[in-house]
Structure 1
Amino acid sequence: MDKRGQVTIFIIIAVLIIAGVALFFVFRPNLSEKEETVTKDYAPLYNYLQDCLEQSLIEVIYINSMQGGYYDVQQDFVVFDSSSEMEGFSIPYYLIDNKLQLLSKEELEKQISVGLVSKFTSCLNSGEFEYNISYNPEEIFASSFITENKIKAELYSSVYINEIENTLQLKNFTAEIETNYLKYYDFAKYLTERQRLLGEELCISCLVKECEAKNYSLYLSPAVSDNSYILINTLNNKEDDLLFSFAYKLNYEN
């Protein structure tokens, strides 16, 4: 091939490249507009799921607080009897036969996440949507972060909106709420460690004085089972409406 032919080919290639770049910028606004339209079309579903997460976080904090930090109580626990307004909640033993059974902060966060995934999945199952959606429960998981006066949750999902021409994936949702949840747990832990130092001797007046000093109300539900004395403790601070419950099981001699 002579030099003139090579130059002609290079010119044609250059023209095609320039034309391609020009077409990209010409049609780029239309592509962006289409993505924006899709987002607006499905905003009601996204807002529903976002509201679901925010409400779920409130509910999970309440449930976990009533159950000593657990959403799914797997260790030894006692259940409020039918005469109690708090019937049905499982209260974990923080102290059993003078042995501590306390959660770590990481476990507190994990239990928040467990509850959020459960609640969020229920929202997907119970919601009435005008869209054709699908999801994989195994691809829904959450991360929770607890600080002194706040809980932040991030939920990752694979919720797909299936349409004839489009498949849109809704991935990430976040929620945040101010709460004294961690302060409740830290104080319950403090009381339990103090009680452990007393051995099998239960000092109820000591518990009450400690609570009054920190502006907590303490509700006690005692019971005797076999050779054990069971005490359910429920904390409440006048600043909020949380109830934080935990139990002790001590050896009891007639």
Structure 2
Amino acid sequence: MSFDKRGQMTMFIVIAILIISGIALLIFFNKGTPLIGSHQEINKKEFLESCVEEEVKNTLEIIGLQGGYFSESKIMTKPFSSGSTYGQKNIAVLCYNKNYFDPCINQDPMLIQHLNDEIKLGISKTVKDCFDALTLSLENQGFEVQAKYNGFDVQLLPEKLKLDIKGEITISQTGSTTKEKDFEILFRTRLYDIAIVAQNIINQEASTCSFDHSGFMLYFKEFSIDKIRTSDSFDIFAVKSKDSYEIFNFALRGCVIPPGV
């Protein structure tokens, strides 16, 4: 065999090795990623999380600033301006008594469950829109999609919010089919923890007419509590998480001493 023929044979072998290596690398880097036909399937859970995240954040902020209500409060509110950052807000009065001397009465004893309901109200449209957007995105990738949306639930927990999107998505292409059902997404928030602090304040004010917020913060250093007394004898509380900077405002009126006494 001549030198030229041996050189050509060596070149063909090198090219074959490179092709095989390239195929092996492609298989390696795609390992663990679902493939149907010639298209790479997007991660449905990550898509939904990214889509709803901003609306969840905005809803939690509004609820915190307004004393647990996303839209119109079903209980008495107190107009209050917390400065130029947020402007004036109508803050829910969570404990109230119109009489003098008498302690306030808790207006929202099921506060945590109520917060869950308000969060659900605030993000309902966005969750449905994001589920529909996921379906459309898969169809645009060339998949045949069958999707069924069955609503969602939310649950505030210590240091997080759990969002359970109920539904199923079946996608098909070139004879292959995958099916996923229900998507659980977790968001970091201290709203649950802050609301528990608010409940402690309300319970003490309702029973003893006083809450020792300085003593409380001495033991629970992750929170700060500010209190302002208005000219008409309402107390405005602002409970803040020092690590997440989330705020929960609320108002109360009780144990008021009449003027001149």
Give the TM-score band, short-chain normalised: 0.5 to 0.7
For 1:79 and 1:39, how far apart are their aligned partners in 2? 59
After TM superposition, give the deviation of residue 95 of structure 1 in Å.
Answer: 0.9
Q: How far apart in 2 are the matches of 1:39 and 1:156?
A: 29
- Counterpart of 1:193? 203
The aligned counterpart of 2:120 is 113
TM-score, scaled relative to structure 1: 0.62
Q: In structure 2, what is the Cα distance between the partners aligned to 1:82 and 1:190?
A: 22
Amino acid at match of 1:218: I
3-state SS in 1 of match to 2:92: strand
Call closer, same or farther: CA 1:191–1:244 in 2, change over 3 Å: same
Find out whether 1:253 has 2:258 as its counterpart: yes
Are 2:109 and 1:99 aligned?
Answer: no
The equivalent of 1:53 in structure 2 is 52
**Contact kept? 1:110, 1:143, Cα under 8 Å:** no
1:193–1:114 CA distance, 2 compared to 1 (3 A) = same
Structure 1 residue 62, shift from structure 2 partner: 2.3
- Match of 2:244, SS? coil
**Following the alignment from structure 1 to structure 2, what is the Cα–Cα distance between the partners of residues 55 and 171?**
24
Partner of 1:244, secondary structure, is: strand
Q: d(CA) in 2 for partners of 1:232 and 1:39?
A: 60
> How far has the Cα of 1:55 moved from its partner?
2.7
Distance in 1, matches of 2:80 and 2:126, equals 23
**For 2:81, what is the secondary structure of its paired residue?**
coil
| TM-aligned CA deviation for residue 96 of structure 1 | 0.6
1:10-159 equivalence runs, <5 A: 37=36, 43=42, 49-72=48-71, 73-81=73-81, 83-97=83-97, 98-104=104-110, 105-120=112-127, 141-156=151-166
Count of aligned residue pairs for this structure pair: 209
- Distance of 2:257 and 2:114 partners within structure 1: 31
Indicate conservation of the 8 Å contact 1:65/1:245, yes or no: yes
Q: Secondary structure at the match of 1:193?
A: helix
Q: Which runs of 5+ in 1 are unaligned?
A: 1-34, 160-169
Residue 52 of structure 2 aligns to which amino acid in structure 1? Answer: L
Residues 93/177 of structure 1: CA separation in 2 closer, same or farther (3 Å cut):
same
Deviates more, 1:182-191 or 1:43-52: 43-52
Deviates most, 173-182 or 238-247: 173-182
- The RMSD of aligned alpha carbons is 4.2
- Of 192, 204, 215, 1:182 maps to 192
The sequence identity of aligned pairs, in percent, is 15
1:238 aligned partner: 242
Structure 2 vs 1, CA of residues 220 and 55 (structure 1 numbering), >3 Å: closer, same or farther? same
The match for 1:213 among 211, 219, 223 is: 219
Structure 2 residue runs of 5 or longer lacking an equivalent are 1-33, 98-103, 141-146, 170-179
Alpha-carbon distance, 1:44 to partner: 9.3
Deviations, residues 127-157 of structure 1 (Å, cap 9, x unaligned): xx8879xx99xx7732012222221102347
Residues 50 and 217 of structure 1, relative CA distance in 2, 3 Å threshold: closer
Query: Secondary structure in 2 aligned to 1:152?
Result: strand
Amino acid of the residue matched to residue 78 of structure 1? K
Judge conservation of contact 2:93–2:107 (CA < 8 Å) in 1.
yes
TM-score (norm 2): 0.60
